[in-house]
Structure 1
Amino acid sequence: MARERATALLVDLDGVLRQWDPAVTEAVEREFGLPAGALLETAMRWSLLQPAVTGQISHLDWMAGVAEALAEPAGGRERAVAAVDQWQAYRGVVDPDVLAFVREVRASGHRVGLATNATDRLDTDLATLELVDEVDLVLNSSALGVHKPAKEFFQLACQALGSPPGRVLFVDDDDRSVRGARAAGLSAYRWSGPADLPYLRAALAD
Structure 2
Amino acid sequence: MIRAVVFDFGGVLVDERAAAQRLAGWEAHLGWPPGSLRQHLYSGAAWEAVSTGQISMDAYWARVGAPLAAALPAAFSAYRDSFHGAQLDAGMTALAWQLRARFALALLSNATLSLGQRLQQETDLAGLFDVVVISAVEGTRKPEPAIYRLVWQRLGLPPAACLLIDDKERNTAAALALGMPAIVHRSVAETAQALRDLGILAG
* TM score, norm. by length of structure 2: 0.84
Task: Note if 1:167 corresponds to 2:165.
Answer: no
Quote how far apart the aligned CAs of 1:112 are. Answer: 0.4
String of CA shifts for 1:78-137, please: whole Å, max 9, x gaps.
5566443222344211111111111011112x1100110001111222245432432222
Matches within 5 A, 1:81-96: 82-90=74-82, 91-96=85-90
Matches within 5 A, 1:38-77: 38-68=36-66, 71=67, 74=68
Out of 83, 108, 112, which is 2:105 matched to? Answer: 112
Out of 183, 187, 200, which is 2:195 matched to? Answer: 200
Contact 2:113–2:137 under 8 Å retained in 1: yes
Contact 1:178–1:190 under 8 Å retained in 2: yes
- Relative distance call for 1:174 and 1:123 in structure 2 (3 A) is same
| Percentage of matched positions with identical amino acids | 26
* TM score, norm. by length of structure 1: 0.83
1:183 alignment counterpart: 177
Structure 1 vs Structure 2 CA RMSD:
2.3
Q: Distance in 2 between matches of 1:45 and 1:205?
A: 34
1:145 alignment counterpart: 139
The amino acid across from 2:144 in the alignment is A
String of CA shifts for 1:143-168, please: whole Å, max 9, x gaps.
11110011111111101111110101
Out of 13, 19, 23, which is 1:17 matched to? Answer: 13
May I ask how many residue pairs the two structures share in their alignment?
194
The amino acid across from 1:135 in the alignment is F
The amino acid across from 1:162 in the alignment is G
Contact 1:120–1:143 under 8 Å retained in 2: yes
- Relative distance call for 1:45 and 1:85 in structure 2 (3 A) is same
- Relative distance call for 1:132 and 1:24 in structure 2 (3 A) is farther
Deviates more, 1:189-198 or 1:141-150: 189-198
- Relative distance call for 1:129 and 1:89 in structure 2 (3 A) is farther
Q: Distance in 1 between matches of 2:134 and 2:97?
A: 20
Contact 2:13–2:88 under 8 Å retained in 1: yes
Contact 2:111–2:135 under 8 Å retained in 1: yes
Unaligned segments of structure 2, at least 5 residues = none
- Relative distance call for 1:47 and 1:114 in structure 2 (3 A) is same
2:2 alignment counterpart: 6
Contact 1:18–1:93 under 8 Å retained in 2: yes
Unaligned segments of structure 1, at least 5 residues = none
The amino acid across from 1:142 in the alignment is A
Matches within 5 A, 1:122-137: 122-130=115-123, 131-137=125-131
Aligned to 1:93, the other structure's residue is in SS state coil
Quote how far apart the aligned CAs of 1:34 are. Answer: 5.9
Q: Distance in 1 between matches of 2:197 and 2:132?
A: 24
Aligned to 1:169, the other structure's residue is in SS state strand
Q: Distance in 2 between matches of 1:158 and 1:28?
A: 40
